[in-house]
């Protein structure tokens, strides 16, 4: 019996060693995969961001100097209108309005970031998407047009709070509770409102165009998710209800001639509705 137990013990030890070796091999394989994907991601980011060409550096330097010296009219002259602000703050429609609201956007912190930036080091060419400062604070086209300021000053943050308070009173009572509004989209048939309820929970509410948002919505879906698409501000919201999926895509950074947003509805994996949308204010 002692020999049998000894053999069994050795056999078990042998099996355990084999399992351990297999486990080590799997761990090593996972390390290689993680390293590979890490290198792939690094290479992708490196290829996406390109050194700024001298001809682009020229107008970037001019922009920096204009901001540094508070030349509002000069900055306003290169803006691509309308210039979007964080919802629910209204867009800036023209040069006169930009000059009037300049100090609301370009506060000391933003001016400092732009003024201290190096055109050769802090500004990157991002293919057709344009030229960005740092991680996307400012976006300028290859032609030198300012088309995105992804920054919110304290003034705009306070203004946003005031607008949200007023909005909650104007909405249908069933929609009055939310942390922050995300956007209102209008297709050829529907008006869609998306609100942030907090804790990564977004709400979808829709009406036919003939109805106001003060009326009860035809459809409300909660537990929606937000997904970022790149560094330019593009993103999408996905909502699920039974076998249906509602996807709202918002593209501040887009190719010329394309819609700023879209609504796509799926029944399981089949597209049953796809419409371009415009982004509207309250």
Distance separating the N- and C-terminal Cα atoms of the chain: 86
Coil, helix or strand for 184? strand
Distance CA 86, CA 76 (A): 19
73-104 confidence digits (pLDDT tens): 999 999 999 999 998 999 999 999 999 999 99
Q: Is the pLDDT of residue 168 over 50?
A: yes
Q: Is the pLDDT of residue 8 over 70?
A: no
pLDDT reported for residue 11? 38
The answer to whether the beta carbons of residues 232 and 135 sit under 8 Å apart is no
Coil, helix or strand for 171? coil
Helices (H), the chain: 2-48, 54-68, 72-76, 95-105, 108-115, 154-170
Distance CA 171, CA 222 (A): 17
Distance CA 257, CA 120 (A): 31
pLDDT reported for residue 29? 44
240-282 confidence digits (pLDDT tens): 999 999 999 999 878 878 899 999 999 999 999 999 999 986 4
Distance CA 223, CA 137 (A): 29
pLDDT reported for residue 39? 40
| 256 exposure class (CB count in 10 Å sphere: 0-12, 13-18, 19+) | exposed
Distance CA 54, CA 52 (A): 7
pTM for this entry: 0.69
The answer to whether the beta carbons of residues 116 and 61 sit under 8 Å apart is no
How many other β-carbons are positioned within 10 Å of the β-carbon of residue 148? 21
Q: Is the pLDDT of residue 223 over 70?
A: yes
Give the 3-state DSSP-derived string for 82-147, with helices as H, strands as E and coil as C: CECCCCCCCCECCHHHHHHHHHHHCCHHHHHHHHCCCCCCCEEECHHHCEEECCCCEEECCCCCEE
Domain residues of the chain, as ranges?
A: 1-48, 54-154, 171-280
Helix (H) or strand (E) segment spanning residue 81: none
Helix (H) or strand (E) segment spanning residue 206: strand 202-208
Residue with tokens 């003939």: 210
* Residue 232 DSSP code: S
Residue 211 makes CB contacts below 8 A (sequence gap 6+) with 191, 218
């Amino acid at each position: 019996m002692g020999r049998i137990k000894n053999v069994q013990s050795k056999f078990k030890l042998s099996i355990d060693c084999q399992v351990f070796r297999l486990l080590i091999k799997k761990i090593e394989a996972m390390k290689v995969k993680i390293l590979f994907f890490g290198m792939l991601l690094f290479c992708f980011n490196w290829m996406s961001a390109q050194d700024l060409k001298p001809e682009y550096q020229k107008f970037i330097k001019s922009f920096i100097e204009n901001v540094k010296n508070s030349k509002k009219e000069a900055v306003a002259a290169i803006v691509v209108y309308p210039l979007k602000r964080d919802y629910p703050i209204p867009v800036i429609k023209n040069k006169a309005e930009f000059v009037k609201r300049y100090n609301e956007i370009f506060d000391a912190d933003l001016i400092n970031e732009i003024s201290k930036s190096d055109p050769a080091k802090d500004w990157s060419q991002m293919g057709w998407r344009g030229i960005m400062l740092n991680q996307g604070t400012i976006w300028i086209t290859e032609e030198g047009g300012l088309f995105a300021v992804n920054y919110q000053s304290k003034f705009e943050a306070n203004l946003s709070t005031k607008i949200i308070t007023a909005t909650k009173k104007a909405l249908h009572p069933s929609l009055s509770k939310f942390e922050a509004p995300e956007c209102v989209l209008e297709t050829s048939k529907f008006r869609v409102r998306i609100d942030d309820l907090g804790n990564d929970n977004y709400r979808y509410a829709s009406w036919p165009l003939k109805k106001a948002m003060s009326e009860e919505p035809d459809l409300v879906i909660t537990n929606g998710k937000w997904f970022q698409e790149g560094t330019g501000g593009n993103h999408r919201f996905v909502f699920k209800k039974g076998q249906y999926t509602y996807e709202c895509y918002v593209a501040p950074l887009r190719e010329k001639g394309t819609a700023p947003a879209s609504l796509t509805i799926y029944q399981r994996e089949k597209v049953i509705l796809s419409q371009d949308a415009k982004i509207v204010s309250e």
